[in-house]
């Protein structure tokens, strides 16, 4: 990995990789793999000072957090899950309009007495008295869930980490409720689950994100400015914040950031 090149982290497989490549290609930034076809390095035609690192979507979040890559494309859900102070460490450059998914709280449809998070807290208190244990929440979004429930005042629960088939956990009796991503809600319905009325935790989509902590030699700053300018010509630089609103700081700091020395 060259110290003088800007590193752009891109999802290494699946729809997200294809859509990312299409998005950049449509804006005059065509990706090409270097080395053999299955390699994990790439470049952008006409941008010698940019290197593409193909990584898994969640690794991209971690690399941004640690400053190992300058820019990265991944889901906002993963950024906010893996980076505790995402708005400090990262600059959300653009929402890319694909990879849309909502992170939601879902409960069994048969819980006709539970429609909101406040209902859930009361149901949880009764559950604790009945069963002598807390309601279990299965999720891979441990941090997003913790923060959301803390804000909503829900305390009588236990998190159970689930790395796959989360929507099946209530039927399998390994959890009572889930926090998971959904696009159409079909999978949730098929598993007899419903979303709480105020259970939307995050409206996520793929984002282009800059790491605020990555070292930026002059060459990298030049490269980053070129990419941002190129994308801006296509109107893709709307900055975004936690609630989809543009934080003024994120917009202002992009140009102002200076490397000491």
Partner 1 sequence: MTAESALRFEALEVQAEQIMGIFARAGYERVAPSFIQPADIFLDCIGEALRNRTYVFTDPDGQELCLRPDLTIPACRIYLERNPHADAPARYAYNGPAFRYQAEPDALRPREFRQAGIENFGAADREQADAEVLALILDAVRLAGLTGFEIRCGDLGLFRALLSALPIPARWQDRLLHSFWRPGAFQSVLRRLASPPAALPDPAIAALAERLDPADPLAAEQEVAAFLDAKALTLLGARNLGEITTRLLSAAADMREQPLSGHVVTLVEDYLKISGTPDAALAAIAALSKDAGIDLAAPLAVCRRRQVLLREADIDTNALHFDADFGRQFEYYSGFVFQIELPGRGIAGQIAGGGRYDGLLASIGAERDAPAIGSAIHTERLLASKGGAR
Q: Which stretch binds partner 1 (CB under 8 A): 2-10, 87-95, 117-125, 205-213?
A: 117-125
Return the C-alpha torsion angle 119, 136, 187, 80, nearest 10: 90
Query: Is residue 127 near partner 1 by the rule CB under 8 A?
Result: yes
Query: Is residue 85 near partner 1 by the rule CB under 8 A?
Result: no
Comparing CA positions, the residue from 9, 14, 11 lying closest to residue 63 is: 9
CA distances from 27 to 87, 123, 136, 192, 232 (A): 26, 51, 45, 42, 9
Query: Is residue 251 near partner 1 by the rule CB under 8 A?
Result: no
Task: Please report the DSSP string for 15-37 in residue order.
Answer: HHHHHHHHHHHTTT--EEE-SST
Query: Is residue 164 near partner 1 by the rule CB under 8 A?
Result: no
Q: Which stretch binds partner 1 (CB under 8 A): 57-65, 74-82, 150-158, 200-208?
A: 150-158
**In the set 35, 37, 38, 132, which binds partner 1 (CB under 8 A)?**
132
C-beta of residue 209 within 8 angstroms of C-beta of residue 82: no
Binding mask 177-216 for partner 1 (x = CB under 8 A): ---------------x----x-------------------
**In the set 17, 115, 195, 254, which binds partner 1 (CB under 8 A)?**
115
Q: Which of residues 44-63 bind partner 1 (CB under 8 A)?
A: none
């Amino acid at each position: 990995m060259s110290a003088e090149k800007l590193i752009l982290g891109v999802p290494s497989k699946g729809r997200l990789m294809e859509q990312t490549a299409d998005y950049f290609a449509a804006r005059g930034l065509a990706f090409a793999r270097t080395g053999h076809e299955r390699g994990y390095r790439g470049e952008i035609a006409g941008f010698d000072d940019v290197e593409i690192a193909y990584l898994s979507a969640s690794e991209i979040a971690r690399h941004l957090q640690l400053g190992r890559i300058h820019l990265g494309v991944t889901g906002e859900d993963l950024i906010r899950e893996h980076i505790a102070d995402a708005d400090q460490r990262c600059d959300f450059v653009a929402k890319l309009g694909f990879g849309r998914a909502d992170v939601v709280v879902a409960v069994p449809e048969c819980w006709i007495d539970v429609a909101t998070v406040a209902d859930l807290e009361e149901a949880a208190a009764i559950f604790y008295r009945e069963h002598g244990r807390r309601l279990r929440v299965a999720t891979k979004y441990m941090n997003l869930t913790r923060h959301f429930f803390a804000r909503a005042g829900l305390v009588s629960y236990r998190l159970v980490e689930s790395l796959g088939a989360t929507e099946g956990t209530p039927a399998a009796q390994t959890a009572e409720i889930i926090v998971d991503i959904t696009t159409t809600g079909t999978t949730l319905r098929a598993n007899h689950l419903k979303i709480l009325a105020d259970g939307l935790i995050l409206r996520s989509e793929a984002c282009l994100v800059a790491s605020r902590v990555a070292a930026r030699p002059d060459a990298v700053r030049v490269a980053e400015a070129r990419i941002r300018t190129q994308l801006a010509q296509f109107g893709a630089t709307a900055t975004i914040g936690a609630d989809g609103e543009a934080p003024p700081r994120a917009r202002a700091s992009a140009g102002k950031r200076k490397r000491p020395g």
